[in-house]
Amino acid sequence: MKNKLASLSIVVSIFNEEGGLNFFWKELKEALQKLPEINTEVIFVNDGSTDQSAQIIERIVNDVSNATIEFSSITFSKNFGHEAAMIAGVDCATKDALICMDADLQHPPQKIIEMVKTMDSGFDIITMIREKRNDNGAGKNFGSKLFYKLLNSLSDHNFDQNASDYFMISRRIVDILKDNFRERNRFLRGYIQTVGFPKTSLSFVAPSRENGTSNYSFIKLVKLGFNALFSFSNKPLQVSLVVSLIFALFTTSFMLFTLWVYFFGDKPPSGYTSIMIFMSTCFTILFLLIGILSLYFGKSLEEVRQRPIYLIKEYSKKNSKTNNE
């Protein structure tokens, strides 16, 4: 049996959430009040918001009624994306365990109580599985299921179906992420499922958004999907090789058939039709293979450049037990 958790960092990623940020904080604070024995640190990561989110964060941090909670406030120089925001929170976390969550109330703060109790029973990783999302249509739900089936079929790892960016990890997993998983193309919810430490899952229902709209556009979701696929699987490269071998066999057979008809058949094959079919097939497969290779090359080039994952414009701490500001 593991000792009870003494301290907890909560990383909250924020991008243009002025409409619901106060409601989120109200629910989060209510949840934390039910865990008075835990020393809590809340890390707000403002991912380049262009609305009033920064001002709302400042009011929350400076509210005297929140003096028992430690705060860290990080403001990016621009929008670096949700994954970068989570990594920044991980880098700044100082407590015995860490929870990542969004500020749009799609990740219910009341589940934190259950997460803490579950970690106390001896787990290092708790993934939160979204049973359903009330404002998701059938198309998005189908797309999510299809994505995880594809990822699991192409990867050597088995990822939890509908795992979210709402998760809890122990200090040693935090240190592993800080020291080892520093790719520019990230899939953080996937990383924590592959490190091999004791893991379990809890489920939740994502309520409908009462304020604003989702910041994840279709393009961003597709990009995240590609990052996940290329982070955990080289099978597309293997598929390229297999397709090339099959196509080589096809062209060889086609060439031998054409020669046989030319020398031994009664009628030579139609030149224009045969050439057009062959060329169309050839270039389609060729461009497909080049496209797959280009995606891998592009991802590799980003890693080689080693440009920063994020840039911090402002950083401050409040109510710190070691250095009050």
User: Same structural domain for residues 23 and 77?
Assistant: yes
pLDDT confidence band for 235 (50 / 70 / 90): confident
Residue 209 has pLDDT above 70, yes or no: no
**How far apart are the C-alpha atoms of 8 and 18, rounded to whole Å?**
25
Residues 40, 10 contacting (CB under 8 angstroms) = yes
Residue type, 322: T
Sign of CA dihedral 129, 193, 155, 157: negative
User: Same structural domain for residues 91 and 191?
Assistant: yes
The DSSP letter of residue 127 is: E
User: Same structural domain for residues 180 and 253?
Assistant: no
User: Same structural domain for residues 129 and 149?
Assistant: yes
**How far apart are the C-alpha atoms of 35 and 39, rounded to whole Å?**
9
Q: What is the pLDDT of residue 109?
A: 95
Q: Which domain holds residue 269?
A: 235-305
Q: What is the pLDDT of residue 124?
A: 96
State the DSSP H helix or E strand holding residue 32, giving kind and residue range, or none if neither.
helix 21-33
Task: Answer whether residue 185 is part of any domain.
Answer: yes
Sign of CA dihedral 95, 100, 104, 105: negative
**Residues 31-83: tens digit of each pLDDT:** 999 999 999 999 999 999 999 999 999 999 999 999 999 999 999 999 998 99
User: Same structural domain for residues 199 and 314?
Assistant: yes
**How far apart are the C-alpha atoms of 310 and 262, rounded to whole Å?**
64
Can you name the residues that pair with 1 across neighbouring β-strands?
none
Residue 133 has pLDDT above 80, yes or no: no
**Residues 163-202: tens digit of each pLDDT:** 889 999 999 999 999 998 888 877 888 889 889 899 999 9
- The model's pTM: 0.77
> C-alpha 217: how far from its chain's center?
14
The DSSP letter of residue 38 is: S
Residues 162, 129 contacting (CB under 8 angstroms) = yes
Q: What is the pLDDT of residue 260?
A: 80
Average pLDDT score, the chain? 84
CATH code: domain of residue 103: 3.90.550.10
- In the predicted model, what is the mean pLDDT of residues 217-243? 71
Q: What is the pLDDT of residue 323?
A: 45
> C-alpha 111: how far from its chain's center?
20
Q: Structural domain tally of the chain?
A: 2
Q: What is the pLDDT of residue 22?
A: 94
**How far apart are the C-alpha atoms of 55 and 18, rounded to whole Å?**
9
Residues 132, 141 contacting (CB under 8 angstroms) = yes
User: Same structural domain for residues 280 and 135?
Assistant: no
- In the predicted model, what is the mean pLDDT of residues 94-114? 94
**Residues 261-319: tens digit of each pLDDT:** 777 776 665 665 667 677 777 777 777 778 777 777 877 777 788 889 999 999 999 98
User: Same structural domain for residues 191 and 314?
Assistant: yes
